[in-house]
Structure formats: C-alpha cells, structure tokens
Amino acid sequence: MTISQAVGNVCTASALNTKKQQTANPVENEVIYLPNTDCAIKSQAYLSAFTSYRVGGAAQLFVAPRNIEALQASLKYAKERDLRVTTLGAGSNLLVSDRGISGLVIATRHLRFSHFDHETGQLTVAAGESIPSLAWEAASLGWQGLEWAVGIPGTVGGAVVMNAGAHNSCIADMLVSAQVLSPDGTLETLTPDRLGYSYRTSLLQGGDRIVTQATLQLRPGSDPAQVVAITKEHKKHRLTTQPYNFPSCGSVFRNPKPYTAGWLIEQTGLKGYQIGGAQVAQLHANFIVNRGGAKASDIFCLIRHIQHQVQERWSIRLEPEVKMLGEFQAACG
Ligand SMILES: Cc1cc2nc3c(=O)[nH]c(=O)nc-3n(C[C@H](O)[C@H](O)[C@H](O)COP(=O)(O)OP(=O)(O)OC[C@H]3O[C@@H](n4cnc5c(N)ncnc54)[C@H](O)[C@@H]3O)c2cc1C
Ligand SMILES: NC(=O)C1=CN([C@@H]2O[C@H](COP(=O)(O)OP(=O)(O)OC[C@H]3O[C@@H](n4cnc5c(N)ncnc54)[C@H](OP(=O)(O)O)[C@@H]3O)[C@@H](O)[C@H]2O)C=CC1
Ligand SMILES: C=C(O[C@H]1[C@H](O)[C@@H](CO)O[C@H](OP(=O)(O)OP(=O)(O)OC[C@H]2O[C@@H](n3ccc(=O)[nH]c3=O)[C@H](O)[C@@H]2O)[C@@H]1NC(C)=O)C(=O)O
C-alpha cells in the first residue's frame, strides 16, 4: 500500500477543487487551494502551534499535505512563485524566529501510513508518523529495535534527517532505506550509505530534499510483555533525568565528546539561569525550557550566553543540535 492509498481525501490530489484554482498567493488570513487538490494553503500561520517550544512567528505560507501528490503540488506551487521551502516534522528540534519564516512552510506530519511486514521484520512508515507511537506499537507486537525511541516526540522524517538517537542506538542503525522527494518533484529511494550518517548528523540536514517514507529493520518474535517492560524502563529513565514538564527541544547542544554538554553547562554554574521566559533546566542543564511566555529571542540569547560562558571556562565551542529557522538578532543585550 502507498501513502496515497492509505489516507483520506483531505488535502489530497483530486479534481474536486478545480473551481478554487488560483494563481496568486493568498493575502493575510485567506485560504486558497493548491491547483487540482483539496489541499489548503494558509497565509500567516503561527508556527508556535507547530513547535514543541511553543514559540515562533508566522509562516508566510503554510501547507500540510496528506499524500505524495499533494506534496509534489506544494513544491510545484513554490517553484512557480520562486518561494523558499522549509520543511517541518513535529517541530520538536526547532527554534523558529519570532519574526517567522518567509516562503512556503510544508508540514509533513499528515503524511501517514505504517506497515509492519511480519515476513521480513521491516517497518515501512510515512514521514509524518510519530516515532514514540511506533516504539510503543512495535513493543506491543514483541518487535525489538525501537525501545530507545520512546519519549522522542518527533516524526519519522525528522528522525531520519536528525539521526535521532538515545541509549546508544540511533535511526541510522536500523534504516534500510529512505524515500526522498527532490525540489523538481522526483522520488528516490536511498540507502543509509548515501546519507552520510554520524552522531545526530546526516546529509539531509540543511538540504532541499523532503523525506517522505522510511523502512526500518526490526526484530520480531520476542515476548511483547518483555519489550514493553524495556520500553517503559526507557520512558521512566527519561522522566527522571530530563524535564518533560515544560516545553523544550530536548538537548540544545550536541555532546562535545568526550564531554557531555549537560555536565559542562552545570559545571559552569548555569543551571537555573534565565533570560525572559527561557531557563536552563534544573533537572538537566542541556535542556532549555520555556517557563511560560518565552520568546524565541529569549531562547536564542540564552543559547549564545551558554556558548560564551562555556567557551570562556573550558575553551570548548558547544554546537547547537537544535535547528534555528528564520532570522535572529546578531547581538543579545
Ligand atoms: C522532550 C524532548 C526529548 C527529546 N529527546 C531526544 C532524544 O533522546 N534523542 C534525539 O535524537 N532527539 C531528541 N529530541 C529532539 C527531537 O525530538 C528529534 O531531533 C526529532 O528527531 C525531531 O523530529 P521532528 O519531526 O520534530 O523534526 P523537526 O524538529 O520538525 O525538524 C528537525 C529538522 O529536520 C527537518 N525535517 C523534518 N522533517 C523532515 C522531512 N520529512 N523531510 C526533510 N526534512 C525534514 C527540519 O527542516 C529540521 O531541519 C527531543 C525533543 C524533545 C522536545
Ligand atoms: N517537553 C516538551 O517540549 C514535549 C514533551 N512531550 C512529551 O514527550 C513524551 C513522549 O512520550 P511517549 O510515551 O514516548 O509518547 P506519547 O505519550 O506521546 O505517546 C505516543 C503514543 O504511544 C502510546 N503510549 C504511550 N504510553 C504507552 C504505554 N505505556 N503502552 C502502550 N502505548 C503507549 C500513546 O497512546 P495513548 O494516546 O493511548 O496514550 C500514544 O499513541 C510525552 O510525555 C509528551 O508529553 C511532547 C512534546 C513536547
Ligand atoms: C535528549 C536528547 O538526546 C539525549 C538522550 O536522550 C540521552 C539518553 O540516551 O543521551 C544524551 O543526553 P546526555 O548525554 O545528556 O545523557 P545523560 O545520561 O542525561 O547525561 C550524560 C552525563 O552528563 C551528566 N549531566 C547531565 C545533565 C546535567 O545537568 N549535569 C550533568 O552532569 C550526567 O550525570 C551524565 O554523567 C542525548 N543527548 C545528546 C546531546 O546526545 C536529544 O538529542 O535531544
């Protein structure tokens, strides 16, 4: 089954809306439809609703396709109007500027479909599927391999791009192939050796290809109760070591091996340090939490402050894991 067979007819390619075809960009608060689809493009859509930090200004234009054809139509729409395209998954590793993002923002989380192949032990999933939901589903089937992914509130697409990982496992370890869509509308299936994987890195980062689907190799045949128990242990460990009670993006910085960012930041005396509504978490110093009312600029300036302090104290440059989208001020006060 393909993604287009698996989804309903909302925001899909169809001939239903030919009367709604328009060529202009929508003006503020207007909704128009992609030609030959019932897929709406919205203007000035606030991205704070689409990021785990709950911050971020508006997308100039926003679309959430539900199948490949509607995704291809979105890219065509952008190309014809010379609009820059930005792709979002679940927005759980993003800091979107308060000034928003120009061009067309494509949210992939409505690309949904999953198939557990009991013969091969392979899980084929659309980019918008939730990684933690799949981890629980695999566990309840007695399939091993995704226990580590519980508690990572992202999509399959975001995990493939970020090489999401935890507990010494990561997506690259189990990726059989990823299907990607190029700006010219062509689909290609790539094996991991073509994706330049290393720790929290892939060649897909910062590029213009959109992940549409992935196939993961898992290990069926275990006692579901045992796999669920291990998954629960991972979740419990997270809840005791990471702050889940306030919005965040997970780890802000990559670990500068052999050190860990959390240790360096704590030793620099920054736990609890706050700028506006953004605070270095007390429970884990590599998390910046939104304590309420934070602006993206507060989080951005706290990131810069941490980098500066850690550099001064340890001569180590912390590299952000979080992806910053849009424009940020050059200097913080
Ligand atoms: C509480 C919490 C805990 C976390 N724990 C972990 C952890 O243990 N390990 C870990 O690795 N991460 C963790 N994260 C970070 C985050 O969940 C992961 O990086 C996740 O993989 C991001 O997925 P996403 O769908 O939210 O991607 P987004 O944040 O939406 O996007 C991330 C990047 O991928 C791009 N992108 C997203 N989808 C696509 C697509 N379909 N095609 C092309 N590009 C795309 C975006 O443009 C952006 O550059 C955590 C975050 C939170 C909030
Ligand atoms: N701090 C932050 O910025 C953010 C934190 N989060 C947090 O991330 C966490 C992700 O947790 P995680 O458990 O991985 O995913 P979720 O709690 O999001 O659950 C994902 C799916 O897995 C199912 N599920 C959850 N627990 C179990 C279980 N014990 N057995 C079987 N199925 C289960 C859920 O089913 P059902 O719906 O039936 O419960 C749901 O369909 C959540 O606590 C969420 O609040 C998310 C976004 C941002
Ligand atoms: C949350 C993320 O991924 C997480 C992932 O969930 C966990 C679990 O596997 O391991 C990494 O965290 P981490 O290296 O901070 O793991 P932890 O086990 O919490 O801490 C490592 C070490 O740092 C120390 N530590 C941590 C936090 C802190 O405030 N102070 C401190 O001293 C701990 O005591 C421990 O000795 C990933 N982070 C990175 C940047 O690699 C993410 O990428 O967003």
Which residue ranges have their beta carbon within 6 Å of ligand 2? 52, 92, 130, 132-133, 136, 150-151, 153, 235, 244, 247-248
- Could you report the predicted ipTM of this complex, rounded to two decimals? 0.96
Q: Residues 178, 278: one domain?
A: no
- Tokens standing for residue 64: 């959430």
pLDDT, residue 318, reads: 98
pTM of the model: 0.94
pLDDT, residue 24, reads: 61
Please return the burial class of 129, using the count of CB atoms within 10 Å of its CB with bins 0-12, 13-18 and 19+: buried
Residue nearest to atom 23 of ligand 2 (CA): 133
- Tokens standing for residue 212: 């549409």
Catalytic residues: 200, 251, 321
Closest ligand 3 atom, CA of 254? Answer: 40
Residue 84: what residue type? R
Which residue range(s) make up the domain with 103? 3-107
- Tokens standing for residue 328: 């940020």
Taking the C-alpha atoms of residue 40 and residue 282, their distance in angstroms, rounded to an integer, is 42
* Mean pLDDT score of the chain: 92
210 C-beta closer than 6 A to ligand 1 = yes
pLDDT, residue 320, reads: 98
12 pLDDT band, cuts 50/70/90, is low
CATH number reported for the structural domain that contains residue 274 in this entry: 3.90.78.10
Residue nearest to atom 34 of ligand 2 (CA): 133
Taking the C-alpha atoms of residue 251 and residue 230, their distance in angstroms, rounded to an integer, is 23
Question: Residue 85's beta-bridge partner residues?
Answer: 104
Q: Residues 10, 94: one domain?
A: yes
pLDDT, residue 333, reads: 76
Instruction: Establish how many alpha carbons lie within 13 A of residue 193's alpha carbon, considering only the half-sphere containing its beta carbon.
Output: 0
Q: Ligand 2: distance of its center to the CA of 135 in Å?
A: 10
CATH number reported for the structural domain that contains residue 151 in this entry: 3.30.465.10
Taking the C-alpha atoms of residue 194 and residue 79, their distance in angstroms, rounded to an integer, is 26
Cα 325 to chain center, whole Å? 12
Q: What is the pLDDT of residues 83-135, one digit of tens each?
A: 999 999 999 999 999 999 999 999 999 999 999 999 999 999 999 999 999 99
The candidate with the shortest Cα–Cα distance to 187, out of 127, 260, 113, 266, is: 127
Residue nearest to atom 12 of ligand 2 (CA): 151
The answer to whether position 332 is within a domain reads no
Q: Residues 126, 232: one domain?
A: yes
Q: Residues 100, 130: one domain?
A: no
The answer to whether position 203 is within a domain reads yes
Q: Residues 155, 232: one domain?
A: yes
pLDDT, residue 22, reads: 46
Q: What is the pLDDT of residues 123-153, one digit of tens each?
A: 999 999 999 999 999 999 999 999 999 999 9
Q: What is the mean pLDDT of residues 73-87?
A: 96
pLDDT, residue 19, reads: 37
pLDDT at 191 over 50: yes
Q: Contact 296/95 with Cβ under 8 angstroms?
A: yes
CATH number reported for the structural domain that contains residue 35 in this entry: 3.30.43.10
Which of 263, 273, 279 most suits a substitution to test ligand 3, by most atoms within 8 Å of the C-beta? 263
**Structural domains in the chain (count):** 3
The answer to whether position 173 is within a domain reads yes
CA-to-CA separations, 35 to 7, 9, 32, 282, in angstroms, rounded: 19, 15, 9, 50
Q: What is the mean pLDDT of residues 183-192?
A: 96
Q: Residues 220, 253: one domain?
A: no
Domain boundary among 239, 255, 279: 239
